[in-house]
Amino acid sequence: MKILITGGAGFIGTNFTYYYFDKHPEAEIVILDKLTYAGTRENLDPLSDDPRFKFEQIDIIDKDAVFALFARERFDTVVNFAAESHVDRSIHEPSVFVMTNVVGTHNLLDASMQFGVKRYHQISTDEVYGDLGDNSTDLFREDSPLKPSSPYSSSKAAADLVCHAYHRTYGLPVTVSRCSNNYGPYQYPEKLIPYFYFLASKGEKVPVYGDGGNIRDWIYVDDHCEAVDIIIDCGKPGEIYNIGGNCEKTNLEITREILDYVGQGEMEFVEDRRGHDRRYAIDNRKMEREFGWKPKMPFADGLKKTFQWYDLNQEWLNQKS
């Protein structure tokens, strides 16, 4: 069995690559990554000499290169982690997000259809559902309407719709998962947890948007990887699966936990992000009902493991920051 993992040198892709490599000793793994600022080839160096592992530096918007790879390798499974994913960057450079997240996904779907891929899995985000708002007790379900707020989430929602069109129109065996905020090793320090840890560890001020009351659901990256693996094996083509951590926290709560761990630094409230969604929360009961899956890692334990990894990989952190 041969699997293509796109974006496999990025944060979640790297973690999934190691997870899949260990869990499926029979599988051949090919990584496709453009190696943007957020993807690092060295993340996967321990696998470089293994005959089951290949790495291809390709941009998914390059259709000719994508098709040549599919023709040469003949994949059974494709998992698409490749994406531009930082909301602030999408506000300033929306066209980059449309090209990678929409056009790039379309190229992968076209190649998967032409070369007989048996399962295409799209990694999406809870941000496609939009904002639950203040004082809401609602949760995002798989049938919740799509109301994306940023160029990033809009591009991911568009990609999801193209995926479903390829299943409905052409019969391509597609599944989509929408996950809440991930944290863990290898995360590029533009995202909240590694960025705030990096600043606090240097004794610098940590910039908190608005009043810090924005709520997100958090999941440790290994729990996400396990859920995706289950969906690839057992998910029904054409279905959406929400993956959540059952761990809602405000940005203020997260910041305080980081500062407490580091033992220094202070908060600085800054102007809020444009179009900043107030609350996301995932209903992952479909994953539990159909597969018996639940997130395992308690937030405090996952945060400790994450910071221990950064403590042991200061050179990696400093190169990225």
The full set of domains in the chain, from first to last, is 2-184+220-246+276-297 (3.40.50.720)
Q: What is the pLDDT of residues 284-312, one digit of tens each?
A: 999 999 999 999 999 999 999 999 999 89
Burial class of residue 23, CB neighbours in 10 A (0-12, 13-18, 19+): exposed
Handedness of CA 177, 182, 188, 190 (dihedral sign): positive
User: 99 φ, ψ to 5°?
Assistant: -65, -50
Tokens of 283: 């209903």
What is the model's pLDDT at position 15? 98
Whether 190 is catalytic is no
What is the model's pLDDT at position 307? 92
Residues with Cβ < 8 Å from 138, sequence gap 6 or more?
132, 281
What is the model's pLDDT at position 92? 82
Query: What is the CB neighbour count within 10 angstroms for residue 37?
Result: 10
- Catalytic residue among 33, 59, 84, 127, which? 127
Whether 127 is catalytic is yes
- Catalytic residue among 33, 59, 84, 126, which? 126
What is the model's pLDDT at position 94? 87
Which residues of the chain, if any, have pLDDT below 70? 86, 319-321
What is the model's pLDDT at position 265? 86
What is the model's pLDDT at position 111? 98
What is the model's pLDDT at position 275? 77
Residues with Cβ < 8 Å from 32, sequence gap 6 or more?
4, 5, 6, 7, 8, 56, 58, 60, 66, 69, 82
Pairwise CA distance, residues 248 & 243, whole Å: 13
What is the model's pLDDT at position 320? 59
Nearest residue to 153 (alpha-carbon basis) of 106, 90, 100: 90
Pairwise CA distance, residues 256 & 266, whole Å: 9
Pairwise CA distance, residues 205 & 265, whole Å: 6
- Catalytic residue among 18, 20, 152, 310, which? 152
